[in-house]
Structure 1
Amino acid sequence: MAGLIGLGQNYRNQAMQGLQQASEMEQRREHMNDQMEQQERQQRMSMVGTGAASGAMIGMQMGGAAGPVGAVIGAGVGWLASSVF
């Protein structure tokens, strides 16, 4: 009888270890997904900033109040580019 109890405990321990490993893998997966989402947001903001700076430079070369307008247009283009790529 003791052999059966020991065998049952072994099975239970193995099952618990398997569940623990599955839980750890799920936590790692969720962490990686969170990191990827943060990187995507950072990339999008970088592209918007680059577009705004480029648009402002082009607008300033055109003269007058075209700088801020160019910045807004450039930011829009940067945002669109980040959505496409």
Structure 2
Amino acid sequence: MATERIIVQNIVMILGIKVLVMVLGILGLAGMWAAVMADVGVCLLAVGNSMRIFRINPAGEEIKAVSCPFRRDFGRHGNLRAV
């Protein structure tokens, strides 16, 4: 499924960039600001990549996203209730 493929792409991209920056930091080639900018940048890239789930297909019909299996409200003890 396309949604699962995008999720896997995001996870691999996030972990790959974080490991790369961590290795560069260990070698002394990247400082704290590089790590912060890489973290924020990879977050924005992942959100942008995830937006592809909501794109419109070539036939002009909207592709429906998978809905969350939880209600928006919380139970008595603060737990999410399954629908």
TMscore range, shorter length: 0.3 to 0.5
Q: TM-score, normalised by structure 1?
A: 0.41
- Larger proportion of strand: 2
Larger relative contact order, structure 1 or 2 (CA cutoff 8 Å, min sep 6)? 1
Structure with the greater alpha carbon radius of gyration: 1
